[in-house]
Amino acid sequence: MKHRALHLLCIFVAAAGWMACGAGHPTITRITVSPSQASAGVRGGDVQFTANATFSNNTSRELTVADGLTWSVAPNATASISDNGSATCLVVGQAVVTATAPTELNLTINNGINNTSPKVSGTATLSCIPTP
């Protein structure tokens, strides 16, 4: 009987510790892309975008690829964007630049390293204008 009570106590303590490991970490609630609107010429027109995360504890900081940040642009025929947020105009038109990151900056290791938390995104507008 003593061993069973001790065994149950050990399981309870281990479970409480496991649940507390992920608790208390702030999560991303919003991503703001800067500049929110930009324009560049078609020939050699590059714009550097940054993504700033606002967390559930009201702190904020710039995100990087190491945080799981990804960049995309649509339509991709109008502009392209690099992993570090540098956008290049390809043709005249308007494009939406999107920065996406996981809400939780924790990793899951299971047949590789993945972050399976929901994603949050922020957008900006890029106007690609004719270059004289």
User: For the chain (length 132 residues), average pLDDT per consecutive 10?
Assistant: 47 39 75 97 91 96 93 96 96 97 72 72 97 82
Query: How far is CA 52 from each of CA 57, 80, 85, rounded to the nearest angstrom?
Result: 14, 20, 12
Query: How far is CA 127 from each of CA 8, 59, 123, 130, 131, rounded to the nearest angstrom?
Result: 63, 31, 13, 10, 12
Domain ranges of the chain: 26-129
CB atoms within 10 A of CB 87: 24
Task: Say which CATH class 26-129 falls into.
Answer: mainly beta
Q: Are 63 and 54 in contact (CB under 8 A)?
A: no
Global model pTM greater than 0.85: no
Q: Are 98 and 81 in contact (CB under 8 A)?
A: no
Q: E strands of the chain, at which residues?
A: 28-34, 37-41, 46-48, 50-55, 60-62, 70-74, 79-81, 86-89, 93-102, 108-109, 113-114, 119-129
The residue count of the chain comes to 132
Whole-number pLDDT of residue 11 = 44
Whole-number pLDDT of residue 17 = 38
